[in-house]
Copies of this chain bind each other. A is one copy, B any other.
């Protein structure tokens, strides 16, 4: 007997037929004797509809009332799944955020989960009743409805798993696991059996949109084992094995490989300040105002000083913030003292990720050589303990991902026709 949290996204909850499919998946685990809490998203499209209402009512809507409105989507699906489970012969009841309760901060529309009370829940689970919990919602100390921000249901599921001391948190999505890279770019991408929290964080934050980043961070902190798998099952009704997201200690040496995956991200834009005076405080004069404006700066490259005593500074910002970033810098032109402000949104960040690179030199060198051999120019470089990222022209994105996937030995074995 295990304790399992099962989480289903909006696509899995879109309509009663799909909710019945979810009920069948839950029933399989319940029949096996497990104690189960199910965390559900709103029906696909429903949250957008509700958010649209709030925006139409006022562009400056009160986030406390926004939370009342948008949390209703998950309330609906949790009640419906409880009904569908009962119809399938599985005792079930819904527990809304204020009923458990799931205590959160009062940062409405982006609240953080605090304590989740589990006494009543545990008694109910012990009585073999499946708990259906709406994701994304909680209740503040002031007894107001809160929501966690978009995609928050993954975080709800991980928090529930931590509070319940669950053996596993199964996240059902419309993909069947985490791949070595985007299979739409590399058809020979392989599904990973296991990936570490750290790797998943790097893969997620650079474009592998399988799980909300926050939920992975929480799982790492709380030691919750996550399994990502598809809610679309085969004829036997059983889901195919997905990808486990676990602590590094659970990765065998045998399984370990240098590079786990290749990610790409087209959401950054490049900004270059040419001929910035090479003196103390120059860099602070650039990045201070951007931080004040709430603009996240990612990759930063400072060239060697010119003989003139000036230098070029290049960095990336989210494309959505590019206009604001340029505006902010122009206003600081006198203080910073640059000669030219150049920008280019047509860039992509390519990252190779893997905990294995900690103990192996040469990962970066292989990357540069591989890209160089194909004539792909590297515009900037950033490295962390388990990641090397390069900025390239956007047109080279797919080529760069494919050649790196091959270079690091990630391609699945070719299937030879019989």
Contacts and interface: CB of A to CB of B under 8 A. Distances in A.
Interface of A: 16, 19-20, 50, 53-54, 56-58, 60-62, 64-69, 71-73, 75-76, 78-80, 82-84, 86-87, 93-94, 96, 98-99, 143-145
Contacts of A56: 16
B53 A80 contact: yes
A86 to B, nearest CB: 6
Contacts of A72: 72-73, 75-76
A57 B96 contact: no
Contact of A50 (B76, B99, B143): B76
Contact of A68 (B62, B73, B78): B78
B68 A53 contact: no
A91 to B, nearest CB: 10
Nearest to A57: B83
A375 to B, nearest CB: 54
B53 A76 contact: yes
A65 B93 contact: yes
B96 A68 contact: yes
Contacts of A69: 75-76, 79-80, 83
A22 to B, nearest CB: 11
A380 to B, nearest CB: 43
Given A50-B76, A54-B79, A69-B80, 17 more contacts: A53-B76, A57-B80, A57-B84, A57-B87, A60-B87, A61-B86, A62-B86, A65-B83, A65-B93, A66-B83, A67-B79, A68-B75, A68-B94, A69-B76, A72-B73, A72-B76, A75-B75
Contacts of A16: 53, 56-57
Contact of A58 (B68, B84, B145): B84
A257 to B, nearest CB: 45
Nearest to A101: B143
Contacts of A60: 87
A51 to B, nearest CB: 12
A79 B83 contact: no
Contacts of A96: 68, 145
A19 B56 CA distance: 11
B143 A99 contact: yes
Contacts of A20: 57
Q: What is the interface of chain A mostly: helix, strand, loop, or mixed?
A: helix
10 contacts: A16-B53, A57-B84, A58-B86, A61-B87, A62-B82, A64-B93, A68-B82, A69-B75, A69-B79, A96-B145
Nearest to A144: B99
A73 B68 CA distance: 11
A137 to B, nearest CB: 11
A245 B117 CA distance: 48
A54 B83 CA distance: 7
A58 B98 CA distance: 26
A19 to B, nearest CB: 7
A121 to B, nearest CB: 13
Contacts of A80: 53-54, 57, 65, 69
Contacts of A53: 16, 76, 80
A302 B78 CA distance: 53
A66 B79 contact: yes
A57 B19 contact: yes
A100 to B, nearest CB: 10
A315 to B, nearest CB: 38
A280 B415 CA distance: 90
Nearest to A20: B57
B83 A62 contact: yes
Nearest to A58: B87
A72 B145 CA distance: 13
A84 B93 CA distance: 34
A41 B339 CA distance: 61
